[in-house]
Amino acid sequence: MASSNSSRRSLVVSLVLTLAISFGALFATLGAGWSPKLGLDLAGGLSVVYKPATHASLSDLQEVTSVLTNRVNGLGVSGAQVNLQGRDVVVSVPGVTNARQVLKTIGQTAQLLFRPVVCYATAPSSKAVEVAPGKLPACGSSYYTSPANLGIVVAPNTANGYTGPNNIADDPAFTNIKSTSPQNDFKNDYVLLPVLGQTGVRYVLGPAELTGKAIKSALAQENQSGAWVVNYTLTSAGSPQWDKVAEANFHGLLAIELDGVIQSAPLIQPTQSSFTSFGGTGEISGSFTETSAKNLALAMQFGSLPVRLVPLTTETVSPTLGHSALVAGLGAGLAGLALVLLYVILYYRALGLVILLGLGLTAALLWAIISSLGHTALAPSFDLAGVTGLIVSIGITVDSYIVYFERLKDESRAGRTVRTSVDRGFRSAWRTVLAADFVSFLAALLLYLIAVGDVRGFAFFLGLSTILDVLVTWYFTRPIVILLGRRSGAGNSAMSIAAGMGSGATDE
């Protein structure tokens, strides 16, 4: 038939194109050196899901996301992702080996607060207990770190440019009181906090006068004399607020507090005899090391979260465990695949080989797609949940062949030749495959849209392979089986198509 010939040509074209595209894409990906972006449970790394402690607007959460993104990028870690999923903020940093250290830096979730230092406190005794929020005793007046007691005197000819501050003793009233814990660290209360990196050194601080929102940026730099300083810029709204606070604490100590720890407590303008406006920028100098200056700059710039975050779940995975999970996942997948192939080849003979080729094609396409997506960071990274999604999809993919081949058996039982069966069988199988794949895709899509974390990877790869299944069924299975069916004439050898269809089939 003429129509049969032209159709044959389009079938061959479709088949050749599909094979060329699939394996071409695979080799292109391999050639480009792209490989799937492994999720943290396979590559090792860190993932944290945060929830705002109090009600937060969507714009607050978006600000949190950008602050955390900056913070993570500020660490020089590559491949990190910060996403907003529903009202949760998901941070994932795959491939880091020192996950717990990284976690500590990202995990500084509190607001940055500026509080005046009221007095120095002694180190806590072993009997120390925490007092209720707001119930901290007042500092003894002789221990006040007020500008008057500190006695800063401007001395332009000294190294520092000023003398002082006077030594003020630690107030012993706080010996039996523990430092205020982060969850009791309220903005409007007096608090007792430790100083970063100095064991046993604690200050009593007054209510916060400013939050980190006033800071636009902060940068650790070396000044002319080679000492590390932190230069910061204030926002336009923050600048007058800062001046007001600084003026009130002129020649006093203003503590920069992050997550219940005093990062630094600089003196305000000790080299000037009277207060002058900061004009939107400032510099904190002192006995900084490079690391401590950079940490303070990071804390000042990125510590300013609009809401406090509570970690819902924290996970760190060591690279070795990740690797062993990858081996387990691949081993399980390959073993399962081998079993399935063995079964279908025994059951369907030559048609089983079609499944083998089809799965090889699907695998090539999947590898190419996953690698390319991983390269562009569009898709969720490939994790154990994704591996499971793919393993589950083996069943759905192979089922499309089974539906078709069982239809072929039906057709051949009806006494039709292989040649007609392949065409008729495909038409009815195609509808079934579409309906069934649609349902599977629907499930994957809904899971992807609604769920968080791991689930999205699972749903993504399940949905992806469902779409591939539809395409492969049309562009590969249809042409190859129809072409084989038309060529079929070799009689009833064990590997012929008819052998895979039961006794009713007759070859032409």
Partner 1 sequence: MSEQTISSTPGRFGRLYQGLTSIDFVGRRKIWFTVSALIIVAGALSLGIRGFNLGIDFKGGSSWEVLAPHATVQQMTNAAESAGLSQPTVTKLGSSTFEVEGDLNALSPSQQTNVTDNVVNAMAKVAKVNSNQVSTSSVGPTWGAGITHRALEALIAFFIAVLIYISARFEPKMALAAFAAMVHDLLVTVGVYSLFGFQVTPDTVIAILTILGYSLYDTVVVFDRVRDNSRGVLNNGNMTYSEMINLSMNQTLARSINTSLVAILPVLSVLLVGAYILGATTLQNYGLALFVGLVSGAYSSIFIASPLLAVLKEREPRFKDLRLRVASRTDRLVLTPAAAAAMTNERGTTTREAATGTARSNVIQARARKQKRR
By CB under 8 A, what part of segment 213-252 binds partner 1? none
- Candidate list 135, 427, 431, 487; residue touching partner 1; CB under 8 A: 431
Give just the sign of the alpha carbon dihedral 12, 18, 23, 29. Answer: positive
13 binds partner 1 (CB under 8 A): no
Cβ proximity to partner 1, 51 vs 213, nearer residue: 51
The span of 13-21, 214-222, 288-296, 325-333 binding partner 1 (CB under 8 A) equals 325-333
By CB under 8 A, what part of segment 38-57 binds partner 1? 41, 49, 51
Cβ proximity to partner 1, 239 vs 477, nearer residue: 477
By CB under 8 A, what part of segment 90-119 binds partner 1? 97-100, 104, 107
Residue 222 Cβ vs partner 1, minimum distance, rounded to whole Å: 32
Cβ proximity to partner 1, 232 vs 461, nearer residue: 461
316 binds partner 1 (CB under 8 A): yes
**Cis amide linkage into residue 165, ω under 30° from 0:** yes
Q: Among all chains, which residue has been given the structure tokens 């717990």? A: 100
Residue 84: name the closest of 106, 101, 71, 69 by CA. 69
Residue 336 Cβ vs partner 1, minimum distance, rounded to whole Å: 3
Q: Among all chains, which residue has been given the structure tokens 């069916």? A: 485
Region of residue 425 (left: phi > 0; alpha: psi -120 to 50; beta: else): alpha
344 binds partner 1 (CB under 8 A): yes
SS3 state of residue 13: helix
Cβ proximity to partner 1, 240 vs 504, nearer residue: 504
436 binds partner 1 (CB under 8 A): yes
CA–chain centroid gap for 437, Å, is 30
Contact 459, 379 (CB under 8 A): no
Give alpha helix (H) positions in 414-452: 418-450
Contact 374, 42 (CB under 8 A): no
Residue 230 Cβ vs partner 1, minimum distance, rounded to whole Å: 25
Q: Which two tokens stand for residue 89?
A: 């903020």
Q: What is the amino acid identity at position 25?
A: A
By CB under 8 A, what part of segment 360-419 binds partner 1? 384-385, 387-388, 391-392, 394-396, 398-399, 402-403, 406, 409-411, 413-417
Q: What is the pattern of x (binds partner 1, CB under 8 A) and - over residues 176-195?
A: -----xxx------------
- Candidate list 20, 28, 200, 343; residue touching partner 1; CB under 8 A: 343
The span of 155-163, 198-206, 239-247, 307-315 binding partner 1 (CB under 8 A) equals 307-315
CA–chain centroid gap for 100, Å, is 15
Q: What is the amino acid identity at position 1?
A: M
CB atoms within 10 A of CB 451: 15
Q: 326: which residues sit within 8 A by CB, 6+ positions away?
A: 38, 42
Contact 218, 300 (CB under 8 A): yes
Provide the residue count of the chain: 508
Residue 383 burial by Cβ neighbours in a 10 Å radius (0-12, 13-18, 19+):
buried
Cβ proximity to partner 1, 30 vs 391, nearer residue: 391
Residue 129 Cβ vs partner 1, minimum distance, rounded to whole Å: 13
SS3 state of residue 75: coil
328 binds partner 1 (CB under 8 A): yes
Q: 114 has which bridge partners? A: 210, 256
CA distance 62 to 68: 10
The span of 162-170, 195-203, 335-343, 467-475 binding partner 1 (CB under 8 A) equals 335-343
Cβ proximity to partner 1, 97 vs 276, nearer residue: 97
Q: How many residues bind partner 1 (CB under 8 A)?
A: 93
Q: What is the amino acid identity at position 242?
A: W
154 binds partner 1 (CB under 8 A): no
Cβ proximity to partner 1, 159 vs 435, nearer residue: 435
Contact 371, 36 (CB under 8 A): yes
* Residue 417 DSSP label: B
Cβ proximity to partner 1, 215 vs 394, nearer residue: 394
By CB under 8 A, what part of segment 251-290 binds partner 1? 260
Residue 250 Cβ vs partner 1, minimum distance, rounded to whole Å: 34
- Candidate list 318, 487, 489, 491; residue touching partner 1; CB under 8 A: 318
332 binds partner 1 (CB under 8 A): yes
- Candidate list 66, 73, 78, 503; residue touching partner 1; CB under 8 A: 503
The span of 62-70, 274-282, 322-330, 477-485 binding partner 1 (CB under 8 A) equals 322-330
* Residue 447 DSSP label: H
CA 505 to each of CA 96, 255, 348, 399, 418: distance values in angstroms, whole numbers, following the listed order: 59, 88, 13, 21, 7
By CB under 8 A, what part of segment 445-464 binds partner 1? 446-447, 450-455, 458, 462
CA 348 to each of CA 351, 393, 470: distance values in angstroms, whole numbers, following the listed order: 5, 20, 21
427 binds partner 1 (CB under 8 A): no
By CB under 8 A, what part of segment 63-92 binds partner 1? 86, 88
Residue 466 Cβ vs partner 1, minimum distance, rounded to whole Å: 10
Q: Among all chains, which residue has been given the structure tokens 């090539």? A: 364
345 binds partner 1 (CB under 8 A): no
Region of residue 482 (left: phi > 0; alpha: psi -120 to 50; beta: else): alpha
Cβ proximity to partner 1, 216 vs 456, nearer residue: 456
- Candidate list 172, 200, 279, 336; residue touching partner 1; CB under 8 A: 336
